[in-house]
Amino acid sequence: MSRLQIIVFAFSALFFTEGKAQTIRIGELNSYKVFPAFLEPYKKGMELAIEEINASGGVLGKKLELVTRDDGGNPGDAVRVAEELISREGAHVLMGTFASNVGLAVSNLAAQRKVLFLASEPLTDKMVWENGNRYTFRLRPSTYMQTAMLIPEAVKLKKKRWAIVYPNYEYGQSATASFKKLLKAAQPDVEFVTEQASPLGKIDAGAVVQALIDAKPDAIFSSLFAADLQKFVREGNTRGLFKSTPVFNLLAGEPEYLDTLKDETPDGWWVTGYPWNAINTPEHRKFRDAYQKRWKDYPRQGSVVGYSAVYTVANAIRKAGSTDTEKVVDALRGLEMTTPFGPIVWRPLDHQSTMGAYVGQLAKKAGQGVMVNWRFADGANFLPPFEEVRALRKE
């Protein structure tokens, strides 16, 4: 390398370092190519929040900067990408991930590297309980919480024989375990007559539906989503599975998945989701109007998650008065803030936010799936007792 090249390289490195010092960097990693239906709106939600915060003066006098990377939906790749965000990009905070197994891998890295990780989307209970650590926080209501929101409606039916369908990885396994535990506690005589576990994204829907028909359940609990859900619904409709069998399905009321189901949307299913066009609280109207003005599109569940995650980071750093990791971690524990779904608290005990979800039934209107008979379930009301959580956490 010539003397001139060395000088140019040194100045470039200095300029890059100083540029990073002028901003607060959020290192965000997610499975954009694997789960685009959820994560494209999620990214738009993040970008809207960044624009709003920076337009109002930023945080601690600095602009927020989002540095995003695709983790390929693979735990090993996610850890490598997270390392790059920390070491090469100078991220002050890690944020994101979608699949629960990926989120757990990044959470473990965050504990090792002592870097704050805000898990925006992964739903497994292990994220903040069995595998919880000082540096990991989770935004969305977990599988336990969302399952608990559906249990009261399931118990009302007084169905004894239940079948379960789930994607066979951490999220689906966690949802299934929570459902069985909670339903059994509320209705001791319940029986689980069959469990159909399929590889994520590779469901053999015909075989699964036929196995359910053969088992003759009184009701079905499912945690399928995305393409697996669409295939399951199509086969179930074709074979008449849902005509007289009630179904409870986590996440199936989210616009990301109703967008693809369209006129195939089954009537009457109990679901958790997001009836975006019918929520008229002041905080939601403000968010929805801003989102639609910015993107000329309606918000999805991912939009709310991305938007709320960025505001969480901004609020925690602002409260801490610093980007020092230990100070921001302490500030985030017990942080109270407002989201499009209303106020939430970040619980000091397990770093789980009390964000809620909407519970209702599916229906079709003008050839499109919608949620009806819905209600808001405050996440704070669907968490296990503190004593039970303390026993689960290993810190």
Residues 194 and 230 in one domain: yes
The pLDDT value given to residue 195: 98
The pLDDT value given to residue 127: 96
Instruction: Give the integer Cα–Cα distance in Å for 302 and 37.
Output: 9
pLDDT digits (tens, 9 = 90+) for 256-272: 999 999 999 999 999 99
* Band (1; pLDDT cuts 50, 70, 90): low
The pLDDT value given to residue 15: 42
| pLDDT of 10 strictly over 90 | no
Amino acid letter for position 277:
N
Residues 114 and 224 in one domain: no
Per the model's pLDDT, the better-predicted residue between 46 and 3 turns out to be 46
The pLDDT value given to residue 21: 66
* Band (6; pLDDT cuts 50, 70, 90): very low
User: Which residues constitute the domain of residue 200?
Assistant: 144-276+357-386
CATH of the domain at 110: 3.40.50.2300
Residues 238 and 124 in one domain: no
Q: In what order do the strands lie in the sheet with 161-167?
A: 191-198, 161-167, 219-222, 247-253, 270-273, 357-365, 368-377
Residue 130 lies in a domain: yes
> Could you tell me where the DSSP H helices lie in 187-225?
205-215
Q: Which residues pair with 197 in a beta bridge?
A: 166
Residues 177 and 85 in one domain: no
* Band (216; pLDDT cuts 50, 70, 90): very high
Residue 188 lies in a domain: yes
Instruction: Give the integer Cα–Cα distance in Å for 274 and 260.
Output: 15
Kindly give, in sequence order, each residue whose CB lies less than 8 Å from that of residue 142, ignoring residues fewer than 6 positions away: 123, 124, 125, 127, 128, 174, 352
> Full-prediction pTM beyond 0.95?
no
The pLDDT value given to residue 395: 63
* Band (2; pLDDT cuts 50, 70, 90): low
pLDDT digits (tens, 9 = 90+) for 69-108: 999 999 999 999 999 999 999 999 999 999 999 999 999 9
The pLDDT value given to residue 340: 98
Cβ atoms of residues 250 and 224 within 8 Å? no
| pLDDT of 9 strictly over 50 | no
User: In the predicted model, what is the mean pLDDT of residues 342-353?
Assistant: 98
Residues 50 and 132 in one domain: yes
The pLDDT value given to residue 132: 96
Residue 391 lies in a domain: no
Residues 250 and 370 in one domain: yes
Residues 348 and 377 in one domain: no
Residue 395 lies in a domain: no
* Band (19; pLDDT cuts 50, 70, 90): very low
Q: How many domains does the structure of the chain reveal?
A: 2
Residue 346 lies in a domain: yes
pLDDT digits (tens, 9 = 90+) for 271-319: 999 999 999 999 999 999 999 999 999 999 999 999 999 999 999 999 9
Residues 367 and 220 in one domain: yes
Instruction: Give the integer Cα–Cα distance in Å for 71 and 153.
Output: 37
Residues 262 and 346 in one domain: no
Residue 392 lies in a domain: no
Token pair 């300029």 in the structure block, residue: 15
Residue 264 lies in a domain: yes
Residue 70 lies in a domain: yes
Q: In this prediction, what percent of the chain has a pLDDT beyond 90?
A: 93
330 φ, ψ (degrees, to nearest 5): -65, -35
Residues 18 and 137 in one domain: yes
User: CA angle 212-270-282, nearest 5°?
Assistant: 155
Residues 328 and 370 in one domain: no
* Band (20; pLDDT cuts 50, 70, 90): low
Residues 236 and 288 in one domain: no
